[in-house]
């Protein structure tokens, strides 16, 4: 059976994606901060006959990532697909953002992706594989009050393109799922202040379906960037 490693798996897009992949017959390696949430999800998905391994890793802590990823990979599943979905946002004037919040956001949205890839991609190389980084249309646009988020997502898009070029010789592909607004727990975060109409946003299940679609592409091709937007357009 193919296996997939998903970060941010305990809620929102990651939670829906884990269920979608399990329903499609994939085994799972799951990462999030919450041990209890992961245990509950693993119990649910294991009942479908899937193998499910998990580790609680705080991706905002750069010192925890390498060890946590190594422990997860030692449990016996080798992922053929890696989905870097975990992330966060912060709203406010760009130059008024506290330095510690800037560094926190860069760690979650960019540096942790680099760290997870550094741990997982070498394991994928012998058999090939696919890295899918969940991005945002904010990578291509400037939104007042969202400058730090836009910056991290633009950097993530560039990182993904560079990773794809370097790993091609190893048979590992890399691509981006670029999303418009998704009705996810991100909007409930204390670091986000927004009055957008969440009823007009994409449901998390549509993002999960797009991730499975990307993962199911044959090894002879790659969709380098799939953009999914609400029909109402950008918020």
Contact by Cβ (8 Å): 6, 85:
yes
What residue ranges in the chain does DSSP mark as E strands? 3-7, 27-32, 52-56, 81-84, 129-136, 172-179, 225-228
Q: In a 3-state reduction of DSSP, which class is residue 24?
A: coil
- Structure tokens belonging to residue 233: 């357009």
Compute the Cα dihedral for 104, 106, 110, 111 and give only its sign. negative
Contact by Cβ (8 Å): 21, 212:
yes
Contact by Cβ (8 Å): 34, 12:
no
- Among 54, 90, 146, 149, the active-site one is 149
149 is catalytic: yes
The residues annotated with a catalytic role in the active site are 149
């Amino acid at each position: 059976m193919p296996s997939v490693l998903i970060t941010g798996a305990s809620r929102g897009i990651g939670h829906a994606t884990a269920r979608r992949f399990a329903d499609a017959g994939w085994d799972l390696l799951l990462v999030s901060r919450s041990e209890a949430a992961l245990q509950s999800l693993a119990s649910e998905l294991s009942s479908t006959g899937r193998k499910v391994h998990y580790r609680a890793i705080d991706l905002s802590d750069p010192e925890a990532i390498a060890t946590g990823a190594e422990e997860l990979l030692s449990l016996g599943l080798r992922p053929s697909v890696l989905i870097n979905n975990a992330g966060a946002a912060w709203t406010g004037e760009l130059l008024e953002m506290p330095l510690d919040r800037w560094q926190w956001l860069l760690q979650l949205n960019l540096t942790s992706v680099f760290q997870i890839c550094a741990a997982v991609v070498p394991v994928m190389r012998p058999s090939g594989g696919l890295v899918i980084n969940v991005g945002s249309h904010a990578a291509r646009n400037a939104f007042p009050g969202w400058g730090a988020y836009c910056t991290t997502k633009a950097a993530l898009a560039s990182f993904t393109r560079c990773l794809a070029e370097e790993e091609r010789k190893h048979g590992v592909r890399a691509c981006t799922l670029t999303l418009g607004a998704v009705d996810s727990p991100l909007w409930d975060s204390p670091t986000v202040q927004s009055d957008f109409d969440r009823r007009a946003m994409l449901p998390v299940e549509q993002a999960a379906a797009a991730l499975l679609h990307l993962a199911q592409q044959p090894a002879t091709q790659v969709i380098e960037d799939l953009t999914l937007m609400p029909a109402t357009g950008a918020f």
